[in-house]
């Protein structure tokens, strides 16, 4: 996704390459999905707060592309976790 006209958001974007079809994607906070999966619970079972998985879906091949939590600004992570 690409911003044509800046909105009231942070203007944060990330660029990812799909491992399946090799498309290069530019995504913002609205393109990222969040969920807590069984693998997250197992890996972080002794943590006070389970981080979960952040990902985008490739529009070319529908492959899931993970985005590391540390790449996402804290305010966007918090928004994604509460929506």
State pLDDT tens for residues 38-67. Answer: 887 888 788 777 788 999 999 999 999 999
CA-closest candidate to residue 76, choices 33, 19, 43, 40: 33
Report the run of H or E that residue 56 belongs to, with start and end: strand 53-57
Is-above-0.85 flag for pTM? no
Determine the pLDDT at residue 4.
67
* Alpha-carbon gap, residue 39 to 30, rounded angstroms: 24
């Amino acid at each position: 996704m690409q911003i044509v006209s800046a909105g009231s958001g942070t203007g944060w974007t990330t660029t990812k390459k799909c491992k399946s079809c090799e498309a290069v994607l530019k995504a913002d906070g609205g393109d990222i999905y969040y969920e807590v999966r069984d693998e997250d619970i197992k890996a972080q079972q002794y943590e006070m707060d389970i981080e979960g998985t952040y990902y985008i879906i490739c529009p070319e091949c529908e492959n899931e592309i993970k985005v590391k939590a540390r790449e996402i600004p804290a305010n966007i992570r918090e928004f994604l976790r509460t929506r």
